[in-house]
Amino acid sequence: MKRRIGILTGGGDCPGLNAAIRGVARAAYESMEDVEIIGIKDGLRGLIDGEYRKMKPEEFSGILTLGGTILGVNRQSFKMVSRIGEDKIDRVKLMMEHYEEMGLDCLVMLGGNGTHKTAGLLSEKGLNILGLPKTIDNDLYGTDVTFGFHSALNIATDVIDRIHTTAASHGRVMVVEIMGNKAGWLALYAGMAGGADVILIPEIPYDPQKVLKAVKRREENGKGFTIISMAEGAYTKEMAKLKKKDREAQMSADPLTVGQRLAIFIQKETGLESRAVVPGHIVRGGSPSAYDRILSTRFGIHAAELIRKGDYGYSIALKGTEITHNPLSEIAGKSKLVPEDDAVVKAARAIGISFAD
């Protein structure tokens, strides 16, 4: 029985995408006869515009360690994709038409929350869809870990490690602003692994005065520097009183990043030399970690097994040590945020790390 499998990589790039693509393809070739893999260019944009090609088996060799994605990405927001705007283009209809034009038996969509929302929508429309959970933010509901997170964590931790030496040498307060607009998993784990003194994440609004208190306490104890791990989406308790829309508008209108603003505030209030470091997209680049290579491959293998069985409408997940799957209808559109009683939050507090709350 011939199987024609479409694959696209949605959202932003991250380490492990190519490893997951390889995992799906190689497991499909091994477990089924007469398999064709259709690569869709630049994520959902390619599905909308009908840009795709039949891939050769040899294209999946040598990509396990390769960062980014061989298929390309292009961000398409769920709002833009799911609604007919001023341009009068029905993108959902186009995606469904191109799915049929490609003669697909199923479509594997690698991506984060936005991609999974679209995956859920297409599944509801009757297409055979599988999702693979990819994001450095680790905020996809239903899976313990997303692929890409551990690679980004290693890089973010390395940044904090390197900041320690210059912070100690100069006696500075260093604010390391790490990706994580809505979820603070990366800043939390990197802060814990990198020995940060203060961790600021969106889920726990902070009091600037308590940040100053933590900095001053270290100064009084003879520790001449402070490291702050701060998520890009972290905000103050005062800003938490605003409506989400107003808060986001205020933050996006500020020419300074949250880390830069905090560093300026600390230096003004304490007189201590303070600097902000923004590694930005560096944390999502480069080769995937060994952990992510294995996790991505296992996700891909599980997807291929579901394809072999003809089971669709799921997102692959890691729960404990087992690879499993969740119905798209149950996880699409849901975010996994850091709970205030998270085990790592508790561990951080137990060793004196401040969340300035």
Q: Are 182 and 160 spatial neighbours (Cβ–Cβ below 8 Å)?
A: no
Rounded Cα distance between 216 and 14, Å, is 38
Q: Are 184 and 233 spatial neighbours (Cβ–Cβ below 8 Å)?
A: yes
CA 332 to each of CA 146, 189, 318, 326, 343: distance values in angstroms, whole numbers, following the listed order: 14, 25, 16, 10, 25
User: CA dihedral in degrees (240, 244, 247, 249; nearest 10)?
Assistant: 170
Residue type, 327: P
Rounded Cα distance between 225 and 201, Å, is 21
Say which DSSP state 281 is in. G
Structure tokens, 186:
């990366």
CA 258 to chain centre: 19
281 class by beta-carbon count within 10 Å (0-12 exposed, 13-18 middle, 19+ buried): exposed
Give yes or no: 137 in active site. yes
Reference 16, options 297, 242, 315; nearest CA is: 297
The end-to-end CA distance of the chain, in Å, is 59
Residue type, 180: G
352 class by beta-carbon count within 10 Å (0-12 exposed, 13-18 middle, 19+ buried): exposed
Q: Per the residue annotation, which of 13, 42, 137, 197 is the catalytic one?
A: 137
Bridge partner residues of 354 (DSSP): 198
- Active site positions, annotated: 137
